């Protein structure tokens, strides 16, 4: 089962994904893509750690997401938090030209995995078109990534104000 969980900042998407994962497994896995580049992000990471129970296994994976998910097995339940941070890591990292092949690898792994994967992501395409080149590239790439993952997802959930709205559910 693949589920894409999208929403704006502070929409409740991470909390929702973690609750879903805990209902599916006594020992879910968190794949965290964030890096503590500044004090604000370090605080977010600390807060997420405090909110998690001890049953969670955690892997910090800022770049090689496809490789990490490729190691999953049937019965594993994993939350990836979050795709837009992962995309930022690629676009702003040392090898941005490798992004298309890494995205293709992720889509291939998601299409083949027997694990349950809940993918958390920020919806950033509902605002104005950004003026800066990198910002436009980020919005474009995240929109295309979200469309491709939604197309292969069994369930797509949009979060508003802590309220999940399932916009696709395939049995």
Per-residue pLDDT of the chain (171 residues; tens, 9 = 90+): 999 999 998 899 999 999 999 999 999 999 999 887 778 777 877 777 777 778 899 999 999 999 999 999 999 999 999 999 999 999 999 999 999 999 999 999 999 999 999 999 999 988 777 789 999 999 999 999 999 999 999 999 999 999 999 999 997
- Reduce the secondary structure of the chain to three states and give it as a string: CEEEEEECCCCCHHHHHHHHHHHHCCCCEEEECCCCCCHHHHHHHHHHHHHCCCCCEEEECCCCHHHHHHCCCCCCEEEEECHHHHHHHHHCCCCHHHHHHHHHHHHHHHHHCCCEEEEEEECCCCCCCCCCHHHHHHHHHHHHHHHHHHHHCCEEEEEECCEEEEEEECC
From first CA to last CA, the distance across the chain in angstroms is 9
| 41 Cβ neighbours under 8 A, 6+ residues apart | 34, 35
pTM here is 0.92
Within 13 Å, how many C-alpha atoms sit on residue 83's CB side? Answer: 33
Q: Are 33 and 61 spatial neighbours (Cβ–Cβ below 8 Å)?
A: yes
Q: Closest Cα partner for 83 from 23, 13, 131?
A: 13
Of the residues 16, 48, 146, 169, which is catalytic?
48
Catalytic status, residue 48:
yes
Q: What is the pLDDT of residue 126?
A: 83
Spatial separation of the C-alpha atoms in residues 130 and 113, rounded to whole Å: 35
Burial of 24 (0-12, 13-18, 19+ CB in 10 A): middle
- Superfamily, domain 2-169: P-loop containing nucleotide triphosphate hydrolases (3.40.50.300)
Domain residue spans of the chain: 2-169
Q: What is the pLDDT of residue 130?
A: 78
User: Residue holding tokens 């929702």?
Assistant: 16
């Amino acid at each position: 089962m693949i589920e894409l969980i999208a929403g704006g900042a502070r929409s409740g998407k991470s909390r929702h994904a973690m609750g879903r994962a805990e209902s599916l497994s006594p020992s879910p896995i968190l794949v965290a893509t964030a890096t503590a580049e500044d004090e604000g992000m370090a605080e977010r990471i600390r807060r997420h750690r405090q909110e998690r129970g001890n049953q969670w296994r955690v892997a910090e994976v800022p770049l090689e997401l496809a490789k990490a998910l490729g190691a999953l097995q049937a019965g594993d339940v994993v939350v990836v938090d979050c795709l837009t941070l992962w995309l930022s890591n690629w676009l702003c990292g040392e090898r941005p030209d490798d992004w298309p092949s890494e995205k293709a690898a992720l889509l291939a792994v998601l299409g083949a995995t027997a694990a349950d994967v809940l993918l958390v992501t920020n919806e950033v395409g509902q605002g104005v078109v950004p003026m800066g080149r990198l910002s436009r590239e980020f919005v474009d790439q995240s929109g295309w990534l979200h469309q491709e993952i939604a197309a292969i997802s069994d369930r797509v959930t949009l979060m508003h104000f802590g309220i999940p709205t399932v916009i696709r559910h395939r049995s």
